[in-house]
């Protein structure tokens, strides 16, 4: 059930649920409170304030409402759920900040489209150029030739503001890394619920992968899919391996790393239990990383590239 946690197998520690909250407001009621132009103006005025708390009179002046009683009515509707009153004035509760941030992100009221436009990088499948396109709050990267998808993720409209296309792609790269980092750590990037991770083989074709990692939130059902290699982007030994070869893995676009968007370099060693090996070739070396079904590293080997490794890389290139 949404909003609940599973049984506690680690001990008798009491686990909280949304149902334990005596002061919680029903979602329909919460949305009805902010579905008012004046109340949204109050939240925006609080956001713009150089310092908080903000006094009643200052807040009313910023909203430009002459009727003090009417303004007080709307402010009271926001108080406790979205705004908190103190002796020094009014300040945000976290819910109020989230409302303003959602407005700034454009998630509810903006629906821009962008592209398709060519981006730096080449297809992990055929080596052709890549293009990005933005529609319905989602940014997708595809090959211009074979059509292979190199990622398709939500990207709030506000992320397009005041950025060139190159800067948009840089921000998108960091966002995708952040989403998967949270998911791999068991935290849903949407609702902070519990995220489960499973490895799937021979599943229905998605992203052109035979071996796929699925992350799914047990609370809101938000899901993320990727190649196994994408989970290694922030692994310290992998980062060091690239740094030793003059590559800054922290800023390198994930879609330009074949082992992140393809399973060509992925080998299933065992399924019971899962052991998956990802081989990362770079210059004259190969970093071989073996993971379990939870994407924890079991083994790591760094070796010189053999003729077979170089031949496989040449075919890929």
Distance CA 194, CA 186 (A): 6
Give pLDDT tens digits for 222-281.
Answer: 999 899 999 999 999 999 999 999 999 999 999 999 999 998 999 999 999 999 999 999
Give the pLDDT of residue 10.
Answer: 41
Give the pLDDT of residue 4.
Answer: 33
CB atoms within 10 A of CB 111: 11
pLDDT tens-place values along the chain, 317 residues long:
333 333 343 444 445 444 455 556 666 666 777 878 899 899 999 988 999 999 999 999 999 998 999 999 999 999 988 999 999 999 998 888 888 877 776 656 667 889 899 999 999 999 999 999 999 889 999 999 999 999 999 998 888 988 999 999 999 999 999 999 999 999 999 889 999 999 988 655 667 788 899 999 998 899 998 999 999 999 999 999 999 999 999 999 999 999 999 989 999 999 999 999 999 999 999 999 999 999 999 999 999 987 546 554 544 44
Distance CA 305, CA 261 (A): 22
Helix (H, G, I), strand (E, B) or coil at 124: coil
Among 197, 198, 199, 189, smallest CA distance to 220 is for 189
CB 220 within 8 A of CB 214: no
H or E stretch covering 274: strand 274-282
Give the pLDDT of residue 95.
Answer: 85
The torsion region of residue 241 among left (phi > 0), alpha (psi -120 to 50) and beta comes to alpha
| Cβ neighbours of residue 91 closer than 8 Å, sequence gap 6 or more | 46, 52, 53, 54, 83, 84
* DSSP-derived secondary structure letter, 178: H
* DSSP-derived secondary structure letter, 171: H
pTM of the model: 0.72
CA 185 from centre of chain: 12
Q: Which CATH number fits domain 22-105: 1.10.10.10, 1.10.260.30, 3.40.50.1220, 3.30.750.24?
A: 1.10.10.10
Distance CA 227, CA 52 (A): 45
Residue 215: both structure tokens together = 């992350």
Among 269, 264, 272, smallest CA distance to 314 is for 264
Helix (H, G, I), strand (E, B) or coil at 170: helix
Give Cα separations from 70 to 66, 86, 92 (angstroms).
9, 20, 20
Give the pLDDT of residue 305.
Answer: 85
Distance CA 294, CA 214 (A): 11
CB 185 within 8 A of CB 156: no
- Is the Cα dihedral 73, 76, 82, 83 positive or negative? positive
Helix (H, G, I), strand (E, B) or coil at 26: coil
Give the pLDDT of residue 25.
Answer: 60
Give the pLDDT of residue 287.
Answer: 97
Question: Order of strands, edge to edge, in the sheet holding 223-226?
Answer: 195-201, 211-217, 223-226
Domain boundary assignment for the chain: 22-105, 114-227, 231-316
Give the pLDDT of residue 26.
Answer: 65
Give the pLDDT of residue 100.
Answer: 82
């Amino acid at each position: 059930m949404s909003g609940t946690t599973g049984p506690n197998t680690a001990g008798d520690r009491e686990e909280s649920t949304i149902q334990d909250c005596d002061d919680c407001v029903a979602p329909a009621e919460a949305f009805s409170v902010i579905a008012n132009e004046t109340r949204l103006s109050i939240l925006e005025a609080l956001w713009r304030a150089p310092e908080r708390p903000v006094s009643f009179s200052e807040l009313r002046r910023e909203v430009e409402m002459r009727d003090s009683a009417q303004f007080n009515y709307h402010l009271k509707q926001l108080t406790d759920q979205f705004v908190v009153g103190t002796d020094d004035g009014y300040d945000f509760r976290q819910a109020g900040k989230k409302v303003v941030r959602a407005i700034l992100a454009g998630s509810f009221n903006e629906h821009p489209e962008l592209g398709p436009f060519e981006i730096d990088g080449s297809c992990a499948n055929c080596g052709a150029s890549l293009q990005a396109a933005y529609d319905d709050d989602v940014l997708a990267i595809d090959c211009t030739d074979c059509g292979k998808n190199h990622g398709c993720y939500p990207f709030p409209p506000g992320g397009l503001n005041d950025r060139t296309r190159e800067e948009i792609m840089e921000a998108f790269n960091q966002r995708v890394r952040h989403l998967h980092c949270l998911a791999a750590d068991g935290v849903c990037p949407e609702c902070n619920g519990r995220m489960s991770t499973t490895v799937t083989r021979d599943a229905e074709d998605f992203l052109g992968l035979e071996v796929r990692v699925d992350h799914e939130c047990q609370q809101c059902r938000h899901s993320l899919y990727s190649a196994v290699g994408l989970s290694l982007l922030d692994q310290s030994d992998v980062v060091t391996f690239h740094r030793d070869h003059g590559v800054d893995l922290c800023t390198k676009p994930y879609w330009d790393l074949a082992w992140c968007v393809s399973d060509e370099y992925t080998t299933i060693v065992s399924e019971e239990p899962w052991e998956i090996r990802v081989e990362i070739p770079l210059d004259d070396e190969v970093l071989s990383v073996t993971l379990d079904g939870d994407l924890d590293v079991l083994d790591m080997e760094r070796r010189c590239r053999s003729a077979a490794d170089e031949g496989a890389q040449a075919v890929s290139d």
